[in-house]
Structure 1
Amino acid sequence: MLRLQIERHAATPEQAQAALASLDEGEGAYFGVEAGIAGLHPLQATLLTAPALRLRLWGDGVEAEALSNFGRALLAHEALASWRREAGRRPGGNPLDQARRLLACFAPSPDVLLLGALPFEAHRLQSARASVCDPQRPLGVLYFPGRLLRRDAEGTWTGVDLRLPQADLPDLPHTATGHPPEPRGRDTVVPHDDLPPGDYARMVERALATLRTRPLVSLTLSQSYRRRVEGSCVGAFARLRAANPAPASFFLNDGSGMRLFGASPDLQLVVRDGAVQALPVCGTVARRPGAQGEAESLRELFNEEVDAAALAVCSDALRNDLAPWCLPGSLRLLDRRRPLSLATVVHAVDRLGGTLRPGADAWDLIAATAAPVMLTGTPRQEALRAIGELEPSPRGWYGGMVVQVASDGDALVGTILRAACVRQGVAEVRAGGDLLADSSPAREEAESRLKTRSLWRAFGLEAGASTAAAPWRPYSPLPAYVQLVAPQDPFQAALCDCLAGLGVTVSDQAQDVAVLAGEAAQAPAAGGWVAIGDAACRRLAAEGQAVQAVEAEYGRALRCETTSQAPLGAGLGFSAGRYARLALQEPSLVEGWQVWATDSRGHPVALVRGREACLLFRPDSLLGDDVALAVFAAALAQVARP
């Protein structure tokens, strides 16, 4: 057993950034856990930019190549003599078993590791089906390091150098091998999507018929989108990580002219000291702006029964995959539907935990969970057949795995999702979703496109929407001063603070504009006014609208949308806070007023007539977002106009 010398030294974030930038041209890999659920996702990162060995995996074994003097010295070392004799491509060869036996040549260490990625087709390694793998297409690449950079949970970087004790050959600095030049005529490659808009929904409809007629519990389908891209892939990866930190972020340059990178929500496996955790993810809803928007998105997600059932199926199927390799009875559901909030979407996560049985290791788990059920369906083999019949193109890297396995037995495995594979200036992004018999084809197509958004933004192909929308500026100036008429209103200080945030001062001397709240029933004799909450209902009642008393609704969140009559434009969704004991009796019969916004039932919540405005919500509530505040600002600007 070979015990390497391991030298550690402090490293700076700038050094790590420069090392990562070298992956634009040189071989290597990055795997980081950069976000997630506290206590579930172990924050860390490994950056390998000076590989000593490259192991290219095939269905019948591995091809090992030294990439540095240190790598050549390793391959020549007597401790690896037995492995050299048994490794290589041969009938019946198993690449994962050869990778396992390579690490077994070294003393246990968290820094002696293999890091790389396996494509979707690696699922054939689960059994003798490896014999039917394409002999011209590798099943992934793994790197053995000469030098590492590692980041701990606190964000501190450490450099790690691996050396041979008493090596016969000097360990000279590694020179990046680079990659073959990209073929000429790259601009002649015309990128195209797998399917035009609407065809994915039609594919889902066919899949639902398949679910009804074949022994399938669930099925996951996908499609690829392709765009021409320019610039640095590492730069795009940096933008992706900054905008969308994720449980499994990865970058791979495999030396063939291909760069693969992504920010996946799915940290598939965590193995530590013989303990196994799996973190299946299912259900996707776009994350709305702000804290209230995020809460609304999570509410929508957790009220979706189809997604809850799909996640349960994934967890049960994962238990089935892991059970043969864990101690009997040790697998448990440790967390159910924990919320995972990322930059653009929210997900639900389960956590399974178990204990490896004697003789089992991380490589067994990698083989058992390749092409995981959340990316294929249940049962897996029937789902794979349906995928082959229905999907318009091979999956490639989508649904594969980024893997990191150390000689001490610990491992991290991430599912390759939200990823871009770049070749000859064209980026391919693949996305899909898990289907049950009652899935909605239209919703599945929308979700598929939503999942590509963060990648296209990283390439600069789609304008990124901020998680906090910028406040809308009215086309007319806001009044500098307003009079506040708010008898018995319990939130006067909050309302004053809200107005101050808009640059409006509350003054009893103001004559031109008033804000009515609380028990206010009378409007000023002259000037314009904006009434909010129950005061708005009282003003509408005074104008002849039918109003009724309702059971108190305090601290309720409304989902609203602007109309074409609003100066902000139509179709802006927003959250607003409702505190009310009054409501319109016939909300669809409000005559003589412009309706600027409606709630989810289509009932008006913002009405304007000349220099009079009624907002049936509280714009000062923290349940409201920036659009709700913008509606208030627009109303103030409107009623201030002479």
Structure 2
Amino acid sequence: MTASKEAQEAPSSFDTPCGIRIHRSERAERYADGVLPLESSLDRHRGALLTSSFEYPGRYTRWDIGFVNPPLVFTARARRFSFDALNDRGALLLAPIGKALGNLDALAALDVSQNSITGTVRTSDDWFPEELRSKQPTVFSVLRAVCAALRSDDPYLGFYGAFGYELAFQFEPVRLRLTREADERDLVLYLPDEILIVDHRREQATTHRYEFEFDGASTEGLARDGADEPYSPASTVERECDHAAGEYAATVRTAIEAFRRGDLFEVVPGQTFFELCPAPPSEIFARLKKRNPAPYGALINLGEKEYLVAASPEMYVRVDGRRIETCPISGTIARGKNAIGDAAQILKLLNSEKEKSELTMCTDVDRNDKSRVCVAGSVRVIGRRQLELYSRLIHTVDHVEGTLREGFDALDGFLAHTWAVTVTGAPKQHAIQFIEDHEHSPRRW
């Protein structure tokens, strides 16, 4: 089914707790066009495209959602943060955001100007029990306050972007060893005012457009524009990998000794590779999506000549109302050459005690993460060693759910799992320290 761009739905209006009046209009787009124009725009304009190219009954459906030239960006560097207007439309939003942050106890400093808000989150010597770790002063205290001020019933209007690995250090007491640049960003979130939503099941595409009013001013008539910064590939790379030959194997041997001592049950050390990339990010994303359809794909222009291209099979955490769910993955084997080959590989995977015990351990840690913020007795494994077949791999996946306790929200659920055992290890704090002690580069995104 297709629809003309002229087809319009009646606009709707609503108010946020901080006094912003929002007017939303919806416009039907040609489904056949999809997100291709948006993909290419992200090579030179800030914004994001999130995609789901994989279906699993009751878990994943195929959809795309994206935007370019957002009016506002929220950036964090350790405990320093800023809200920056990326155009005249974003400048209108700074005053209500500044007002929302004015009395926030978590802040050590706050400065509000015409085009930006900057501040610093205070450190705390107070002791926080595990179930309240998400309530201590961090940059998430800022995000929580702003989300509360901008809250609405609109299902799409909100912050989109990337969270960096180093954010965990605001919750976990880690002895830092790796050198990190002072301007290294740990968080980049955009607030868009025009969002394209593509529903592949219904074969519909819709653009949601938002206008904002505050204190007599309005974004009506202001251009939805932004900086135009074409992708400029590097001409050289200083190195191919941050590990010399044999160094990663030595780290694995060190980890095995830690297992024998009982210091660790699992750890996920990594290494960083570098390669020239003459192709623009949109082309890399298109190739990845074609070769590896996944439920979580992303193309994000973070600005400052930095791009993220991603395709992941794993749900980190999902919250709908008070229901919180995760799908930890552990247990992987290559696809067979045909259906009979797949069946043989599946049998081999399911009969592996090693793969079974590893997934059990990951799920136990995941359940413990949820127990910090969930109603006692509500955390359940509702799917055990379920199979997910992708283009080249077969995974075994558990499905875990819980019910958030009163006083806890989606952000608490997100932070309770920072970061997932499948990318750190267990016990989690010791695994994060091992990673800091033995990896050679900051993980960043």
What TM-score, normalized by structure 2, do the two folds share?
Answer: 0.82
Where in structure 1 are there 5+ consecutive unaligned residues? 398-642
Take 1:192 and 1:386, find their aligned partners in 2: how far apart are those partners? 24
Q: Does 1:50 align with 2:69?
A: yes
**Structure 1 residue 199: deviation in Å?**
4.9
Deviations 1:311-356 (A, max 9, x none): 1111110111111211111110000111111111111111101111
TM-superposed deviation, 1:298: 2.0
User: Following TM superposition, by how much is the alpha carbon of 1:258 offset from its aligned partner in structure 2, in angstroms?
Assistant: 1.0
Distance in 2 (alpha carbons) for counterparts of 1:221 and 1:76: 44
Question: Is residue 2:226 matched to residue 1:176?
Answer: yes
Structure number with higher relative contact order (C-alpha < 8 Å, ≥ 6 residues apart): 2
2:26 aligned partner: 8
Tell me if 1:139 matches 2:157: no
Q: 1:223 to 1:19 in 2, by over 3 A?
A: same
Counterparts of 1:246-257 in structure 2, within 5 Å, are 246-257=294-305
Q: Distance in 1 between matches of 2:139 and 2:277?
A: 34
Residue 101 of structure 2 is aligned to residue 83 of structure 1: yes
Matched, 1:205 2:256: no
Aligned counterparts of 1:173 and 1:294: Cα–Cα separation in 2: 53
Distance, in Å, in 2 between the alignment partners of 1:60 and 1:388 is 19
Distance in 2, matches of 1:362 and 1:149, equals 24
Give RMSD over aligned pairs: 2.6
Count of residue pairs brought into register by the alignment: 394
Q: 1:15 to 1:374 in 2, by over 3 A?
A: closer
Task: Give runs of aligned pairs for residues 272-351 of structure 1, distance below 5 A.
Answer: 272-351=320-399
> Does 2:138 align with 1:94?
yes
Deviations 1:525-577 (A, max 9, x none): xxxxxxxxxxxxxxxxxxxxxxxxxxxxxxxxxxxxxxxxxxxxxxxxxxxxx
- AA partner of residue 366 (structure 1): F
- 1:471-521 residue CA offsets vs partner (Å, 9 max, x unmatched): xxxxxxxxxxxxxxxxxxxxxxxxxxxxxxxxxxxxxxxxxxxxxxxxxxx
Partner SS, residue 304 of structure 2: coil
Distance across 2 between alignment mates of 1:267 and 1:91? 29
**Match of 1:122, as an amino acid?**
L
Corresponding residue number in structure 2 for 1:150? 197
Given the superposition, is the C-alpha separation of residues 197 and 189 from structure 1 closer, same or farther in structure 2, using an over 3 Å criterion? closer
Query: Structure 1's 130 and 214: CA in aligned 2 closer, same or farther, altered over 3 A?
Result: closer
| CA distance 1:84–1:110, shift in 2 (3 Å) | farther
Aligned match of 1:215? 263
TM-superposed CA distance for 1:128, in Å, is 7.2
Amino acid at match of 2:294: A
Offset at 1:168? 3.5
- Note the alpha carbon deviations across 1:105-162, whole angstroms, 9 max, x for none: 2223212211011121121233577999864322120000111111235142211111
Q: Which residue of 2 aligns with 1:115?
A: 160
Q: Whole-Å Cα distance in 2 between the matches of residues 177 and 300 of structure 1?
A: 53
Q: Which residue of 2 aligns with 1:17?
A: 36
Relative to structure 1, is the Cα distance of residues 3 and 51 closer, same or farther in structure 2, using a 3 angstrom cutoff?
same
Contact 1:252–1:261 (CA under 8 A) maintained in structure 2: yes
Looking at structure 1, the residues matched to 421 and 253 of structure 2 have their Cα atoms a distance apart, in angstroms, of 20
Paired AA for residue 400 in structure 2: L
In the alignment, the residues of structure 2 paired with residue 178 and residue 252 of structure 1 have an alpha-carbon distance, to the nearest angstrom, of 15
C-alpha distance 179-358 of structure 1, shift in aligned 2 (>3 A): farther
Instruction: For 1:64, give the aligned amino acid.
Output: F
Task: Determine the structure 1 residue equivalent to 2:113.
Answer: none
In structure 2, what is the Cα distance between the partners aligned to 1:281 and 1:209? 25
Deviation at 1:54, TM superposition (A): 0.3
Asked whether the equivalents of residues 333 and 350 of structure 1 are also in contact (C-alpha less than 8 Å), the reply is yes
Aligned residue number for residue 292 of structure 2: 244
Distance in 2 of aligned mates of 1:181 and 1:48: 18
**Which of the numbers 14, 33, 45 marks the counterpart of 2:52?**
33
Q: Runs of 4 or more off by more than 6 Å in structure 1?
A: 128-134
Task: List aligned pairs for 1:428-443, cutoff 5 A.
Answer: none
* C-alpha distance in structure 2 between counterparts of 1:60 and 1:171, whole Å: 36
Q: TM-score, normalised by structure 1?
A: 0.58
Superposed, which structure 2 residues align to 1:198-597 within 5 Å? Answer: 199-397=247-445
What do the CA deviations read for 1:263-295 (whole angstroms, capped 9, x no partner)? Answer: 111111111122111111112212222222222
Give CA deviations for 1:560-614 in whole Å, capped at 9, x if unaligned.
xxxxxxxxxxxxxxxxxxxxxxxxxxxxxxxxxxxxxxxxxxxxxxxxxxxxxxx
Displacement after TM superposition at 1:169 (Å): 4.6
Q: Indicate if the aligned counterparts of 1:59 and 1:130 stay in contact, CA closer than 8 A.
A: no
Structure 1 position 229, deviation (Å): 1.8
- Distance verdict in 2 for CA 1:173–1:292, change over 3 Å: farther
Q: CA deviation at 1:66?
A: 1.1
Q: 1:202 to 1:294 in 2, by over 3 A?
A: farther
Task: Name the CA shift for 1:303/1:141 in 2 (closer, same or farther; >3 Å).
Answer: same
Matched-pair contact (CA < 8 Å) for 2:242–2:273? yes
Aligned equivalents of 1:153, 1:316: Cα separation in 2? 35
Q: Residues 190 and 127 of structure 1: is their aligned pair in 2 closer, same or farther, counting only changes over 3 Å?
A: closer
Report the more deviating stretch, 5-14 or 242-251: 5-14
Which amino acid in 1 is paired with 2:81? Answer: V
**1:68 aligned to 75, 80, 87, which one?**
87
Alpha-carbon deviation of 1:16?
A: 2.1
Q: Tell me: CA distance 1:125–1:108, structure 2 relative to 1, closer, same or farther (3 Å).
A: farther
More displaced 10-residue stretch of structure 1: 67-76 or 257-266: 67-76
SS in 1 for 2:66: strand
Helix, strand or coil at the partner of 2:60: coil
Give the Cα separation in 2 of the matches to 1:6 and 1:130: 47
The letter for the 1-side match of 2:67 is L
Amino acid at match of 2:56: I
Which amino acid is 2:120 matched to? R
1:395 to partner: Cα distance: 2.0
Q: Which structure has the bigger radius of gyration? A: 1
Is this contact kept in 2: 1:70–1:171, CA < 8 A? no
In 2: Cα distance, 1:170 partner to 1:366 partner: 35
Q: 1:262 to 1:369 in 2, by over 3 A?
A: same
SS at match of 1:334: strand
Any stretches of 5+ residues in structure 2 without a counterpart? 1-16, 105-109, 111-117, 123-136
Do the aligned partners of 1:34 and 1:247 also contact (CA within 8 Å) in 2?
yes
